[in-house]
Structure 1
Amino acid sequence: MITRPSSIRPGRLNEAELIRLRQKRLKEIHMWTVIREILMYICFISVLYMVVYSNPYSNAFLQANHLRKYFLNSRQADLDLTEVSTIDKYWQWLGSSFVDNLRAQKWYNGDPPRNLSGFINDKSHRLIGWATMRQLRVKPEQCRIVSTCHADYSFFNEDKHSYTPTWLNETSRMSDSPVEKAFTYQSSDELDTFIYAGTYASYGSGGYVYEFRGGFIDVRNNISRLHALGWIDEKTRAVIIQLTLYNPNVRLFTAVTILAEFLSTGGVFTSARFEPISFDAFTSRSQLLCTIIYMLLVVYFMWIELRSFIELKRKYFYHFWSYVQLGLIVCSWTSVGIYTWRYNECQRIGQLFSETNGYVYINLQFASYVNDLLTYLLGFCCFFGTIQLIRLCRFNPRLCLFVHTLKHSAKELLSFMFMFAIMFMSFLCLFYLLFMSQLPECASLLGTAQMLFEMTLMKFDAHDLSEAAAFLGPFCFSLFIVFVVFICISMFLSIVVDNFRRVRATLDDQSDGIFSFMLERFQRWTGWKKMTEEDMNAERNERLRAGQYYHPADMLSKKVDELLYALDRIYMDQARKF
């Protein structure tokens, strides 16, 4: 009786061919993993850019630039706030420029400003409530040489007493007059204000406040009376003007803060911030859709990071990319929280505006701080998301030359940085002590360090150093150029170039990695590259390994066995019938 034949084994491959086929199989598996990761990341980075760059508004700069020129009045030399250097000039700008621009005046043809109640003089921005002017003062101190002196501002020597007009006698009575009320100290809870960071100091949240309320004539008379009563004197250290504007044409709020710092040395320094804010959570459906997709991808990354943490445990924090992913996740969820708060704030402001017809004071100082925080978070999200492009370069060693070069030169660069820090600190002390009173760049250690870094980049003005000191200026400058620019920078470049040459020589001896394999498969798939005889033999061996190819000699014995098996079945069927 003929039995059923067993499966025929294909021909065996040698050990080298098996290793080569196994590597090819691993490359194919790795290739699809790489493609999936690249496509996922391209989708993520595209959605991230859509979310981040759709948040700013194109009219924000134009609006801030217009208000900056409008209030600072830089086009008139006698009323330019940036050129104010004395108290009298500040009063002149306040009474002749700021007050005139704070109320809508007649049109160019003499017509009255109808339906423009609450608008400023540019006829485009609605004043939310009224503007406030807050002063911060210091306590008088006893000096050894003269009877009294007045120190710089700090939170510890801030004057928090209430006075009668002209600052002569203390009082505890709260007056209803806006002029007399300006001599009464009010806390941050009463004013709804916060700490403000200026150029020379950080100022407290309380102070003596005058509110620009009433008609144009009343406000001008009050300012003249405050000037006559000496509301700003030698104890004044800061005057902060704050107002909130709304432009209905572009639906943008603007928090305006104009600061005048009165230093103990007698100088007056002014600065201003114009921060456009939009409380709209989403401006279009596409932005909402992109935000939803982005947060779903963030949730997916959280799941991946959680699996990695469970698998690696403590070793998870040893990897650099773990901190990048954590930073991206934290910044993303914090941005969602700020978006939610901004939407609620928009609803609150809209309700107050509708209930009071716009005649309510709304301070957007805290809102501007939160909006700045949102901008920082979006910037870090974009940074963390973009820097991960370097991680994708790990699939091709040639694209990771930068990372490999830094790894090979890490010890040498650390030694060089230690030596460079000592050299730079020595020149920092030298320039600061020699030119702290001659050059404005050397007025502080931070400014001196910035000037030296600019000199390292060959951005300097040697004429100022020569005027500051005829001999020491050019001499110290020459020493810095020789030791720091010529020697230290040359050493840094030599270290980097030498390690780059070594890394590149090492990579030349290696294969190009998975990218080359992917490129070869793509060229074959599109027909740009034809298969050689060696490639055909490799593919035949692969099919042989998978059991898909048989040699004709092996196929003959298999066909004979199948024929005998069929005859045996026919014979058994005939015998069963008889």
Structure 2
Amino acid sequence: MMTFAVYLIVFSSVGFGSMNINSHYFNKHMEKLLVSRTFGLAGIRNIEDFWIFAEGPMLDSLFPEPGEMDGNIIVGGPRLRQAKVQNNSCEVHSHLKYLQDSCYGHYTISTEDREAFGPGTTSPWVFSHTGSDYYRGLVATYGGGGYHLELPSNKIDALQAIQALRQNNWLTRGTRAVFVDVVVYSVNVDQLLIAKLLVEFPPTGDALPSWFFEVSRTSLFSKSKDYYIFVCAMISMTFNVYFLLLEACRLVYLKLTYFSRFWNYFDLSVSIGSIISLRFGIKNYLFIASTLDKLPDGVDIPSFEILARNGFNVKVTTSIALSLCWLKIFYFLRVGSSTLAKIRVSVWSCVLNSLGFFMVFVLLVFAFTHLAHHVLGPHLHEYSTLGATTTSLLRALLWDFDLEELQRSRPVFGPMILLVYLSLVLTVLWSIPLAIFARSHTDVMSEISRRCNLWDQWKEMVWGQYSYRQGKVTSEEELRLLLEQEGLTDEDMAAVLSRMGVRRGQHVDSHHLRNALGCLQDAEMLPEVAVRWLTDLKQRVDAAGQKMVALTDKVHMTLEVASGDGS
């Protein structure tokens, strides 16, 4: 336990020490500039709105006036990239082709347009692979290629380049997504912000903006605290290797029985998760150094995307591993806490009933998911897909829903569906689990009470035997002989003598027996010898009773036969 406590302190130092409040403020500041301000990214609803955003708020935020400089400098220049689909990527009904012959469908890799278009043969008008990874948006998952333009690193030239794209209709009916990749450096806090702004244009019209910001450090060891975190990371890695070797030895020794204990899975997950998180951390540190060394030769946006992804992986894996480590404290608490042990037994005893409840809950949510999706999906974005509908219904259980939107979309069916759903699911969600656990806990406490009664009987039996022979039992040898006459094995006798505090050759008095009885008050500490002793005694009594019944039947039969002969 002390080993794990040291490991938890060291690993917590790595997890909490790597967080910085400046990252939060830097992230929120850039989000306000690019997303939340007037004509920001969040307000885009069509292609025209995007051009207004790109020519105005985006450039104003990335290239501020000298007097408005707040210490945030754009590294290189923004990169614009669009993903298009081919013409005739969908079918027009034969009777309606006279209205419109061309058709641009949903984006997929197979329907992606890779033909050159527009007035020139430069990169904005010719498809190319940029080296970026696949990116999942709100509507589709987009490839790393497209029609892209690296904007100049000054505001005037960047504005002219964007205006040239707009005048030559760079965005068309086939445009399904526009990416804006930006890298911003904050001089005051020595951090980089990798921003990916995305505006998706579904084939049905409208525009769906989204964004992803990730803050990364530029210096590996800028403060004394960084050296401390690095040392803690190395110590944590050593602990993880030790824990993995320990689990491997246990697996070899226990073989398949190793997988029968829940905490073995937990220990394995903690060790593997910690090693993965530390591996991502080391990889991220090395990647930062290599990426910054290449900056004088030009900004490589794909490298910064990898940097952002590595930083995100570090945070996720570290937080998961650290959470598992803190949850493992329950493993040590359950050993010395009878309350937690009773709760654990109660939970495990109602697992099957809980699975039945879970199936009922899933069926209810699944049924209402289909109902809400079909009725409300065409009108509300929160119910437009099965996944979004499921999320919205689960959020409704936490009272997070927009009743006014439901009333506007479906004045009758909207509120009615929500009312019936909450009434049924909340009844199932709160009443049935409480009833299941209460019944299970009652059964467990009854079993503990029964064992307490058995323990009291065993104490009376032992005390009676000792009181009857207390004048005869004065040494450890005589007590061992008494226990042997009662049918105890050598192992059981050693356990009883250990509880009594009797050593070989020691004088025995009433204090030793009271010490043994006082140490075993908890029902969960009832020794197996007591259960076996009372079980054997009960079996003997039952067998004697059965013999008495059989003997009584024989006597009755003999009397009946005798009376029949006499008549």
Q: Identify the TM-score tier after normalising by the shorter chain.
A: 0.7 to 0.9
Per-residue CA deviations over 1:522-542 (Å, capped at 9, x if unaligned) read xxxxxxxxxxxxxxxx99997
Partner of 1:348: 290
8 Å CA contact 1:281–1:340 kept in 2: the answer is no
Partner of 2:49: 89
Cα distance in 2 between the residues matched to 1:156 and 1:196: 16
Partner of 1:444: 385
Structure 1: give runs of 5+ residues left out of the alignment: 1-36, 109-121, 166-170, 176-180, 512-537, 552-578
The answer to whether 1:49 aligns with 2:9 is no
For the residue of structure 2 that corresponds to 1:147, the secondary structure is coil
CA RMSD of aligned residues (A): 2.8
Tell me the CA shift for residue 314 of structure 1: 1.7
Amino acid at match of 1:435: L
The answer to whether 1:66 aligns with 2:29 is yes
The answer to whether 1:388 aligns with 2:325 is no
The answer to whether 1:432 aligns with 2:373 is yes
Per-residue CA deviations over 1:17-66 (Å, capped at 9, x if unaligned) read xxxxxxxxxxxxxxxxxxxx2x2222222222111111222210101111
Partner of 1:137: 84
Tell me the CA shift for residue 194 of structure 1: 1.6
For the residue of structure 2 that corresponds to 1:134, the secondary structure is strand
Aligned residues: 454
Amino acid at match of 2:413: L
Cα distance in 1 between the residues matched to 2:339 and 2:391: 36
Partner of 2:318: 378
Cα distance in 2 between the residues matched to 1:102 and 1:485: 49
For the residue of structure 2 that corresponds to 1:149, the secondary structure is coil
For the residue of structure 2 that corresponds to 1:264, the secondary structure is coil
Tell me the CA shift for residue 126 of structure 1: 3.1
Cα distance in 2 between the residues matched to 1:223 and 1:152: 26
- Identical-residue share of aligned pairs (%): 21
Q: Quickly say closer, same or farther: Cα 1:204–1:321, change in 2 above 3 A.
A: same
Cα distance in 2 between the residues matched to 1:540 and 1:444: 66
8 Å CA contact 1:279–1:342 kept in 2: the answer is no
Cα distance in 1 between the residues matched to 2:339 and 2:318: 31
8 Å CA contact 2:79–2:148 kept in 1: the answer is yes
8 Å CA contact 1:401–1:503 kept in 2: the answer is yes
Among 39, 60, 67, the alignment partner of 1:107 is 67
The answer to whether 1:412 aligns with 2:353 is yes
8 Å CA contact 1:132–1:241 kept in 2: the answer is yes
Cα distance in 1 between the residues matched to 2:152 and 2:191: 23
What is the TM-score when the length of structure 1 is the normalising length? 0.72
Partner of 1:545: 503
Partner of 2:493: none
The answer to whether 1:154 aligns with 2:154 is no
Cα distance in 2 between the residues matched to 1:544 and 1:150: 90
Among 216, 233, 245, the alignment partner of 1:291 is 233
Amino acid at match of 2:235: I
Amino acid at match of 1:138: V
8 Å CA contact 2:378–2:384 kept in 1: the answer is yes
Deviates more, 1:500-509 or 1:245-254: 500-509
For the residue of structure 2 that corresponds to 1:158, the secondary structure is coil
Cα distance in 1 between the residues matched to 2:361 and 2:308: 40
Tell me the CA shift for residue 130 of structure 1: 2.2
What is the TM-score when the length of structure 2 is the normalising length? 0.74
Q: Quickly say closer, same or farther: Cα 1:485–1:337, change in 2 above 3 A.
A: closer
Partner of 1:211: 150
Among 139, 149, 165, the alignment partner of 1:200 is 139
Q: Quickly say closer, same or farther: Cα 1:248–1:124, change in 2 above 3 A.
A: same
Tell me the CA shift for residue 242 of structure 1: 0.6
Q: Quickly say closer, same or farther: Cα 1:214–1:448, change in 2 above 3 A.
A: closer
The answer to whether 1:454 aligns with 2:395 is yes
Cα distance in 2 between the residues matched to 1:362 and 1:477: 46
Per-residue CA deviations over 1:520-568 (Å, capped at 9, x if unaligned) read xxxxxxxxxxxxxxxxxx99997762557799xxxxxxxxxxxxxxxxx
Q: Quickly say closer, same or farther: Cα 1:470–1:66, change in 2 above 3 A.
A: closer
8 Å CA contact 2:118–2:168 kept in 1: the answer is no
8 Å CA contact 1:398–1:507 kept in 2: the answer is no
**Higher RCO (C-alpha under 8 Å, 6+ residues apart):** 1
Structure 2: give runs of 5+ residues left out of the alignment: 453-495, 510-567
Tell me the CA shift for residue 203 of structure 1: 1.0
Report the structure, 1 or 2, having the larger helix content: 2
Partner of 2:272: 330
Cα distance in 2 between the residues matched to 1:458 and 1:202: 31
Partner of 1:21: none
The answer to whether 1:503 aligns with 2:444 is yes
Q: Quickly say closer, same or farther: Cα 1:497–1:221, change in 2 above 3 A.
A: same
Partner of 1:19: none
Deviates more, 1:291-300 or 1:475-484: 475-484
Cα distance in 1 between the residues matched to 2:44 and 2:113: 25
Tell me the CA shift for residue 463 of structure 1: 4.4
Amino acid at match of 1:365: E
Cα distance in 1 between the residues matched to 2:275 and 2:417: 51
Among 484, 492, 511, the alignment partner of 2:425 is 484
The list of structure 1 runs, each at least 4 consecutive aligned residues, that deviate by more than 6 angstroms after superposition, is 538-544, 548-551
Q: Quickly say closer, same or farther: Cα 1:314–1:474, change in 2 above 3 A.
A: same
Cα distance in 2 between the residues matched to 1:373 and 1:406: 34
